[in-house]
């Protein structure tokens, strides 16, 4: 009998269960929606901050400068899995206000300044770099690529460096940074150092006077700061300081806090000879046998559109340097001078 009454009762029970289930379901949906709303409120801010949040502030033995606060490390926030992942910036060091933290324990950590020179001047902050003890603890090769970024060869070089897990330094031109800001961002994100190589590389205007040179450096700094939110402290003079600089240029750049590095190993890839990849490798081999380049081999290469042989030579150059016992670093104010 119970079975006969049961359909109605059962359907009543079923309805109750469905209602209860529906209520629980609605409650879950509501909680989920609130959670998502809260997340959405946080994430846009975090995402926009991501390129500049892997800031590793390291302290160093402060020379004569003021004691700075203890080191702090910020970790970039996780990105939601549903969205395409942006490359996570690799750690870099940001100069503190008084420029007393510019010596890192890792020669592969790029160093930047969050203030442009104009901002430092306006805030009354120091401009000139203090004495920084050069890094000589290990045998380090500093691969440097000048005159880019170039749309064709710079990405190929970046791909090789990524594959080999080797950092490098790109001395870029302001005019090319303006044309290819996404490449500047990629170089930065992939943990390489970006240096200032003037705005247009035009010797006539660049070397008219120290002030003309400085103007190009400042202008390029502003462009890079506009893209990255930081600017380099490292400069390479087009043509090299030995042939282009007088004492006035050195004084002016020292007073304004730039670290300038030429090179001591050269693939000659920008000379009339236009050496092929095998010849470039030979140049690196011979010049790294020179004892004075033993602990700091600063290798000059270029990444402009016609440097296909450089791209070809690069994997072998890296292999050779590894075989000779070099680790790889990026140019910073603590990089030893090449001669």
Binding residues (CB under 5 A) for Zn ion: these are 146-147, 238
Query: Contact, 266 vs 283, CB < 8 A?
Result: yes
* DSSP letter assigned to residue 78: P
CB of 283 to Zn ion, least distance (A): 17
The distance of closest approach from Cβ of residue 236 to Zn ion in the complex, given in angstroms and rounded to an integer, is 7
Cα–Cα distance between 242 and 272 in angstroms, integer?
20
What does DSSP assign to residue 129?
P
Q: Which tokens sit at 100? A: 């007393």
Please, what is the minimum distance in Å from the beta carbon of residue 68 to Zn ion? 35
Residue 154: CB minimum distance to Zn ion, A: 14
CB of 173 to Zn ion, least distance (A): 8
- Measured from the CB atom, the residue of 140 and 206 that comes closer to Zn ion is 206
Task: Out of 192, 197, 261, 302, pick the active-site residue.
Answer: 302
Note if the bond before 149 is cis, omega within 30 degrees: yes
- Closer CB to Zn ion, 108 or 143, in the complex: 143
Of 117, 156, 186, give the one whose Cα is nearest residue 315: 156
Give whichever of 60 and 264 is closer to Zn ion, judged by the CB atom.
264
Distance CA(185)–CA(149), nearest Å, equals 11
Give 58 or 269: the residue with its C-beta nearer to Zn ion. Answer: 269
159 is catalytic: no
Which residue out of 113, 146, 150, 262 is catalytically annotated? Answer: 146
**CB distance 265 to 300 below 8 Å:** yes
Alpha helices per DSSP H over 180-307: 181-189, 203-206, 210-228, 241-244, 247-255, 277-288
Nearer to Zn ion, 115 or 199 (CB): 199
The question of whether 302 is a catalytic residue gets the answer: yes
> Is-contact 109 93, C-beta < 8 A?
yes
Kindly report the backbone phi and psi dihedral angles of residue 313, in degrees, each rounded to the nearest multiple of 5, phi listed first.
Answer: -75, -25
Hey, which residues are catalytic here?
146, 302
């Amino acid at each position: 009998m119970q079975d006969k009454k049961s359909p109605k009762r059962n359907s009543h029970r079923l309805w109750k269960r469905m209602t209860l289930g529906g209520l629980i379901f609605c409650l879950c949906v509501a909680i989920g929606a609130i959670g998502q709303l809260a997340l959405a409120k946080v994430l846009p801010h975090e995402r926009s901050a991501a390129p500049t949040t892997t800031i590793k502030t390291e302290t160093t033995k402060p020379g004569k400068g003021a004691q700075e606060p203890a080191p702090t490390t910020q970790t970039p926030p996780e990105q939601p899995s549903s969205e395409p992942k942006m490359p996570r910036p690799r750690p870099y060091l940001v100069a503190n206000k008084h420029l007393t933290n510019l010596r890192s324990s890792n020669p592969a950590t790029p160093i930047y300044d969050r203030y442009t020179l104009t901002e430092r001047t306006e805030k009354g902050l120091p401009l000139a770099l203090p004495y920084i003890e050069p890094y000589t603890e290990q045998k380090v090769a500093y691969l440097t690529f000048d005159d880019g970024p170039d749309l064709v060869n710079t990405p190929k070089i970046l791909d090789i460096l990524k594959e080999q897990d080797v950092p490098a330094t790109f001395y870029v031109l302001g005019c090319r940074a303006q044309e290819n800001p996404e490449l500047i961002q990629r170089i930065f994100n992939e943990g390489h150092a970006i240096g200032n190589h003037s705005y247009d590389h035009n010797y006539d205007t660049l070397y008219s006077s120290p002030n003309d040179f400085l103007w190009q450096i400042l202008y390029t700094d502003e462009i890079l700061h506009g893209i990255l939110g930081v600017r380099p402290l490292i400069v390479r003079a087009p043509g090299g300081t030995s042939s282009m600089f007088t004492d006035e240029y050195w004084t002016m750049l020292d007073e304004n806090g730039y670290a300038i590095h030429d090179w001591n190993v050269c693939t000659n890839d920008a000379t009339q000879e236009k050496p092929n990849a095998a010849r470039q490798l030979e140049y690196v081999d011979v010049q790294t046998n020179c004892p004075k380049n033993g602990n700091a081999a600063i290798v000059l290469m270029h990444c402009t559109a016609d440097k296909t042989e450089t791209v070809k030579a690069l994997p072998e150059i890296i292999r050779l340097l590894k075989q000779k016992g070099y680790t790889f670093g990026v140019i910073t104010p603590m990089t030893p001078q090449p001669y």
